[in-house]
Structure 1
Amino acid sequence: MITTGALAGPTLMSADPDDLTGFAGWAVELMEKIGPIGAGIAIAAENLFPPLPSEVILPLAGFTANRGDFTLAEALIWTTAGSVIGAAVLYWLGVAFGRQRMYRVWEHVPLVKTEDLERTEAWFERHGRKAVFFGRMVPIFRSLISVPAGIERMPFLLFLLLTLAGSLVWNSIWVLAGYFAGSQWDRVEPYMGAVQTTVVVVVALAVASFVVFRVRQNRRVRRDASTLGP
């Protein structure tokens, strides 16, 4: 599994941004060269590749605003713009992939049934707005939710508005945390990392529970069929 530390480099916990390496070091260099637009580019990349560490980039953008390289408003505007752009790319990938292609792929996935996908679509139809809005505040899921939104052809303007609102809330929390933490911006990261770890564990347990349930269900169906005979 890719960890935040592996992506950010061995000097992640240094309070001096200039000492960072890896993805975080690249983000710092972008911010130094092109200002808040660099923070936006880094967050757009994080949306497209969920393992990348937004829990480092957002507080770091806040700290950079704190020391006067750009304003707090610019940090918030550009990181949120990056979130929206990254989500829009994934949305259009979902549109391009399409519902029929998704069903063809789904039919070849073990332990799942077409009915599962139909129920998922029905759930998204009922709760899609809340899923997109609140999903922007959940690590990893905030990237993945854009794909079914595209597959289900949620109105693009509505998708953008929900993504903008959710991203603004989420990004503001961590940019402001980095801004007010100042040179101790790096102390924000463990809290964000703990949130991400919790989410990953919950998702993993949910998937494992589903697999166990489906395996037992299939065994029961086969057992009942063999009992009934030809």
Structure 2
Amino acid sequence: MLEWITNTISSLGYVGIALLMFVENLFPPIPSELIMPLAGFTARANPDKLNFFGVFFAGVVGSVAGALVWYYPGKFLGEQRLKRWADQYGKWLTISSKDITKAKHWFDSQGSKAVLIGRLVPGVRTLISVPAGISNMPLLPFLFYTTLGSAAWVGLLTYSGYVLGSQYELVDKYLAPVSKIVLGSLVLAFVVWVLKRRRKKTRH
């Protein structure tokens, strides 16, 4: 996979970076934790071919475009149809109806800011667009929070690769444990929210 990512960036430049980030949002197994650090390293090693800000902009554009692809099925197909589709075909994208349910519950607990926070969490960042669409979140706020979250994520990865240079792969190595901690914290926060709601219902 690394060779394919490298060849795409080398041959297509900014278009290749945007394309990779677009595909990464559709197929979670393709890691942005490798795409953007490698692009950042390439900008440092070959400044005549790529520059930091161009790499950053291309990554954000691709990421937001990919998020829209998940937003519209949620908006027009609805939760139940998407769940049935995920159970039938989701294995090709490594998603299931349970993943959609979890994302929907988390979105309901966090509101619009879930889109912003979700774009910063691997494993959540792809699917957070689905409940936003299901909940009929207006397009402009969705684009605003998605762009803001994507810019923060892409900027962090690009800058890390630019600074680390040829050791850009360390970004994925050290970010993976941190991502798990963040994801675990979000799950814990969601569980606490559910328990609080149940207590309130019991009191009433």
1:90 maps onto 2:70 in alignment: yes
Query: Greater Rg, structure 1 or structure 2?
Result: 1
Give 1:130-145 correspondences, 5 Å limit. 130-145=113-128
Specify every segment of 5 or more residues in structure 2 that has no aligned partner in the other structure, as ranges.
86-100, 196-204
Give the one of 4, 7, 12 matched to 1:34: 12
CA distance in 1, matches of 2:108, 2:179: 27
Structure 1 unaligned blocks of 5 or more:
1-21, 106-116, 214-230
Matched, 1:72 2:55: no
Query: Secondary structure in 2 aligned to 1:51?
Result: coil
1:51·1:140 contact (CA, 8 Å) conserved in 2? no
Aligned with 2:142 (options 159, 170, 195): 159
**Could you tell me which residue of structure 2 aligns to residue 63 of structure 1?**
41
Q: Deviations over 1:15-43 (max 9, x none)?
A: xxxxxxx2x22121111111022111111
Q: Percent of aligned pairs with the same residue?
A: 41
Q: Structure 2 vs 1, CA of residues 185 and 166 (structure 1 numbering), >3 Å: closer, same or farther?
A: same
CA contact (8 A) 2:73 2:82 kept: no
Q: How does 1:105-124 map to 2 (within 5 A)?
A: 124=107
Q: 2:9, 2:17 within 8 Å by CA — same for their partners in 1?
A: yes
1:161 CA displacement: 1.1
Residues matched between the structures, number: 174
More contact order relative to length (CA 8 Å, sep ≥ 6): 2
Aligned equivalents of 1:52, 1:159: Cα separation in 2: 23
**Which amino acid is 2:78 matched to?**
G
Give the 4+ runs in structure 1 shifted more than 2 A: 99-105, 123-128, 195-207
Q: Compared with structure 1, are the counterparts of its residues 125 and 175 closer, same or farther at alpha carbon in structure 2 (3 Å cutoff)? A: same
TM, length-normalised to structure 2: 0.74
SS in 2 for 1:144: coil
* Cα offset, 1:134, TM superposition: 0.9
Alpha-carbon contact 1:99-1:152 (below 8 Å) kept = no
**What residue in structure 2 maps to residue 180 of structure 1?**
163
What whole-Å deviation, never above 9, does each CA across 1:104-151 have from its counterpart, x for those lacking one? 99xxxxxxxxxxx7xx66x74563211001110000101111000011
